[in-house]
Amino acid sequence: MEKFEVNILGCGSALPTIRHFASSQVINIREKLFMIDCGEGTQMQLRRSNLKFTRLNHIFISHLHGDHCFGLIGMLSTFDLLGRIAPIHIYAYKDLETQLKPQLNYFCKGMSYKVEFHHIDPNKTEVIYEDRSVSVTTIPLKHRVPTCGFLFQEKKTPDHIKRDMIDYYEIPIAYINTIKNGGDYTLPDGRVISHEELTTPSNEPRSYAYCSDTIYYKKITEQIKGVTLLYHEATLANEDLARAKEVFHTTAGQAGKIAKIAKVKQLVIGHFSARYQDESLLLEEAKAVFPNTILASENLKIIL
């Protein structure tokens, strides 16, 4: 099975602590690296993760709060110092380019590589990146500023050939790709050998949904239904529900409810408030609703 991993670099919320770094993740899909959010300290965590800087070409910013983007300028500057030449593509609300370009022009004048900005509309569900193996779609969320999550969906791979059946029917190599992609084979005597007889199914495509920051927003459950892994913010405990509504965040119990309604395979909660010294309380509240829940933590690697 091809690689599909989620690397948590930071899972704290806005107020800095010595326990958590600000929000950032790297998704490794077949050795292509995609970053989601880039809070302060991200480049330090990227080094600790042993992920290769050169394979990171796409950065997705969920919204323009500092704990999700203040690490960008420093990391981009470091890439320049390292002599990077491949362009970096940044997908974000249009205001990020307006704010970041003057900083790049001032602090990183004459950079060795280009920074390409791709504007996204946080209010729309649309595919913003696609290649042969994966697509990335925006998930509109509900927060104090324009915000969206991201849905990574692996594309289905061709079915696996049964080599013994190919040899038995003496099927020429030229027909193999057609059969792998759903075709039958007609023998010289006119008999049709079905695709199902000649192949075994490929692995089910995997998917990952990132949903932070947002108030409890049931509308997203249709889009993330059945995903392999859901990362959902759980900034506050259920006892702080009033505060969660006030600041447009979600409680751990509500995150569990979203996972349950969407029938996801696994839930990981993060974006923890600095008020909690022990996040086991949040884990217990989420698991009470959705048992297959784990806590995010720095340098946690989740293999899908």
**Do 137 and 168 fall into the same domain?**
no
Catalytic one of 37, 67, 80, 240: 67
pLDDT in tens, 128-171: 999 999 999 999 999 999 999 999 999 988 778 888 888 777 88
* pLDDT the model gives residue 78: 95
pLDDT in tens, 166-191: 877 788 888 788 878 888 878 888 78
* pLDDT the model gives residue 90: 98
**Do 139 and 185 fall into the same domain?**
no
**Percentage of residues of the chain with pLDDT beyond 90:** 80
Cα(6)–Cα(46) distance, rounded to whole angstroms? 13
pLDDT in tens, 15-29: 888 899 999 999 999
**Do 144 and 47 fall into the same domain?**
yes
Average per-residue pLDDT for the chain: 94
**Do 28 and 171 fall into the same domain?**
no
Range of 264's domain? 4-157+203-303
**Do 151 and 194 fall into the same domain?**
no
Q: Within the chain, where are the H helices?
A: 42-48, 66-69, 72-81, 95-107, 163-168, 176-180, 195-198, 241-247, 252-262, 280-289
**Percentage of residues of the chain with pLDDT beyond 70:** 100
* pLDDT the model gives residue 170: 80
Q: Which of 137, 168, 200 is the last residue of a domain?
A: 200
Tokens of 289: 């609703």
* pLDDT the model gives residue 210: 98
pLDDT in tens, 36-72: 999 999 999 999 998 988 899 999 999 999 999 999 9
**Do 208 and 135 fall into the same domain?**
yes
What's the length of the chain?
304
State the CATH number of the domain containing residue 77: 3.60.15.10
**Do 114 and 255 fall into the same domain?**
yes
**Do 115 and 195 fall into the same domain?**
no
Q: Which of 168, 200, 232 is the last residue of a domain?
A: 200
Please confirm, yes or no, whether 131 is among the known catalytic residues. Answer: no
What sign has the CA pseudo-torsion 259, 210, 127, 180?
negative
**Do 49 and 69 fall into the same domain?**
yes
**Do 178 and 235 fall into the same domain?**
no
Cα(88)–Cα(102) distance, rounded to whole angstroms? 17
C-alpha distances out from residue 231 to 152, 199, 227, 256, Å = 12, 35, 10, 11
pLDDT at 291 exceeding the cut of 80? yes
**Do 126 and 165 fall into the same domain?**
no
Number of domains in the chain: 2
Of 260, 262, 269, the closest CA to residue 297 belongs to 269
